[in-house]
Amino acid sequence: MIDQNSQFFAILTNVGAAKQANADALGIAWKITQMGVGDANNTDPLPSAAQTALINEWRRAPLNQLKVDPNNAAIIIAEQVIPADVGGHWIREIGLYDADGDLVAVANCAPSFKPLLNQGSGRTQVVRMNLQVSNASSVELKIDPSVVLATRAYVDQKVLEELNKQDFKHSVLVATTGPIALNGLQTIDGVAVPAGKRVLVKDQAASKDNGPYVAAAGAWVRADDADVSVEMTPGLFVHVEQGAVNSDSVWQLTTDAPIILGTASLTFEVVVGRTGVTAGTYRSVTVDKNGRVMGGTNPTTVAGYGITDAVTKSVIVSVAASKALAVNELGVVLIDATAAPVTVTLPAADAGLGGRDVIVRRTDNGGNRLVIQAAGTDKIKFHTHLRAEGYPFFVLMGAGDYWRLRSDGAGSWYPIGRFDGTPLGRPVFETTTAFSPGGWAGINGFIYNRAEWPWVWDHAQDSGMLTTEALRVGNEGKWTSGDGVGTFRSPEGRGAFPRILSEGSAIDTGRGGGTSQAPSNLSHSHTSTRSGFMSNEYPNIQTYHGTTSAGQASFAGESVQMNSTALSGGAESRPYNIAYPGRLKMI
């Protein structure tokens, strides 16, 4: 009989104890999934470790909650909610089952009758078992939320916990403007703060003590939505309601994860708020790193905006003779070299010029040389793979050829755009006998001046296809060193079929780039057939097409009719072909 001396307790069954030990030893999770309740046949049961089932179980269902007791890490709390429409029985015994369906823990409890609604009384009842285990970490604290019921208190607490984890916290009355003592009522930012009001403390000498607090006559405590580590989320926002300095502002926690409350340094920065700038229209403003306007002015001059190299209009300059460009002529420079060769010299790319752009464009399609020259020792940074410092000039070839250049203020001009960026030295086929703009010449073995085409001469030396004039025969596709002093020769490819260099394949081996081959037929033989025999003519015929055969002795005394072929073909062996002009990229 149940009385004031009765004892109620929960124990692991022998099966449960063995599974607990196995989970601890192997480091595997132990899954407790269901709870059963019974009436013990209306007796007063005492739990036994030998039990494998409840005495008289009348309900078994998934757990509503399984967690570690926050006050004792060695105790796990298992909970089940019995809805109002289930009952009609006493509850005297409780059991826990694992994922295998084994009874792993058993408990007795003070008898409680669970009525049904049709009895005129109904309630949702929570059954909870506190179970001490050797190692709570080996118990998998997971439940299936789709098959369980929740108590109102559980839902309220869970909602509150999740809300407190959000980045937007409840607003505070004021925010500090300097360090304060975290106790007693006081005036902050011009506002007398009463007890119970929230305050953003953000200026403590020990920044780990910063955060939202609740003011009190005694010691202050952290606000309940920011009093544990999980609630102090990186990037959280706090709105400030009042204050001479901080009213209507928003502050953000800029400390990165992980945040351990009471240890991590907590830094708050203003992201929204008044800055003291009067409302109005400003043409020039200064802003902080969060985009807030911290000051504003209305300049009336270019200098007032801090601009020292303004171009006040679009500049287009036409040039038909050699000249040095002035700084105010930098823009689009249209150059006509129809009448004579032209050299256009760029302004010095010094600190005074700074970073400026210019577009130089050729407008004529004549044959006169058009040079774009850098000033003094300045360099134009093109083909730097051949010469790191660049070159002092380049040429524009053909109507429409253009380069866009930008100065660096330190002696260099950088090409940032051009009409034709095809790599230097590349051969191509054309469908016109004219020369396209952009820097093209024929593949015709032409003699060039090294000083006029220094980048091409550098390319020839770097190509691995450079020979001398004396060795040019058989190497017509190579560059040559010309006179060895001031000239060089381009490859000759007119009238020849190009062939891809072997470069390690088993076909056409042993050749270098730019070498030529004489015409040749594939090695083969011809045969002749016997068309008849005549007696007593050409005795002892033993030779056929240059080959002697002793096996023909049986033809002695007979005659043979011989076939012959006539010459055919032309001066070379070739397939069907179409001739296109060949072009070589020169810049």
pLDDT tens across 212-223, in order? 999 999 999 999
pLDDT at 522: 80
pLDDT of residue 309: 65
Give the Cα separation of 434 and 436 in Å (integer). 6
* Selection from 456, 316, 327, 332 nearest residue 382 by Cα: 456
Q: Where are the beta strands (DSSP E) in 391-545?
A: 393-395, 402-407, 412-418, 427-429, 440-442, 447-449, 466-467, 479-480, 487-489, 533-535, 543-544
Query: How much is the pLDDT for 154?
Result: 57
pLDDT given for residue 155 in this prediction = 58
For 20, 27, 74, 137, 144, the CA distances from 23, given in Å and listed in that order, are 5, 6, 15, 10, 21
Other C-beta atoms closer than 10 Å to the C-beta of 98 total 19
Sorted by sequence, the CB contacts under 8 Å of residue 18 that are 6+ apart come out as none
Q: Identify the segments of the chain with pLDDT beneath 70.
A: 135-138, 140-167, 302-303, 308-313, 527-566
Beta-bridge partners for 35: 61, 96
Which pLDDT score, from 0 to 100, does residue 539 have?
47
- Provide the whole-model pTM: 0.46
pLDDT at 105: 94
Query: What gap in Å lies between CA 440 and CA 427, rounded to an integer?
Result: 9
- Rounded Cα distance, 21 and 138, in Å: 10
- Amino acid identity, position 315: V
pLDDT of residue 546: 43
Let me know if 242 is exposed, middle or buried by CB neighbors in 10 A (0-12, 13-18, 19+).
middle
**What pLDDT does 538 receive?**
45
DSSP 500-546: ---TTSSSSTT--TT------PPP---------EEETSSTT--EETT
Q: List the beta strands (DSSP E) in 273-366.
A: 284-287, 293-297, 316-319, 323-324, 332-335, 342-345, 357-362
**Tokens 């050829």, residue?**
401
Nearest one of 92, 3, 7, 88 to 44, comparing CA atoms:
92
pLDDT, one tens digit per residue, over 368-408 is: 999 999 999 999 999 999 999 999 999 999 999 999 999 99
Backbone angles phi and psi of 363, in degrees to 5: -110, -15
Domains of the chain, first to last: 10-162 (no CATH), 166-275 (no CATH), 316-421 (2.60.120.640), 441-515 (no CATH), 533-559 (no CATH)
Residue 156: what pLDDT? 57
Contact yes or no for 403/394 (Cβ under 8 A): yes
Instruction: Give the Cα separation of 210 and 191 in Å (integer).
Output: 19
Q: How far apart are CA 103 and CA 14, in angstroms?
A: 9
- For residue 440, the tally of other CB atoms under 10 A from its CB is 22
What pLDDT was estimated at residue 321?
97
**Helices first, then strands: H and E counts in the chain:** 3, 41
Q: What pLDDT score does 543 carry? A: 45
Model pLDDT, residue 540: 46
Which pLDDT score, from 0 to 100, does residue 232 have? 87
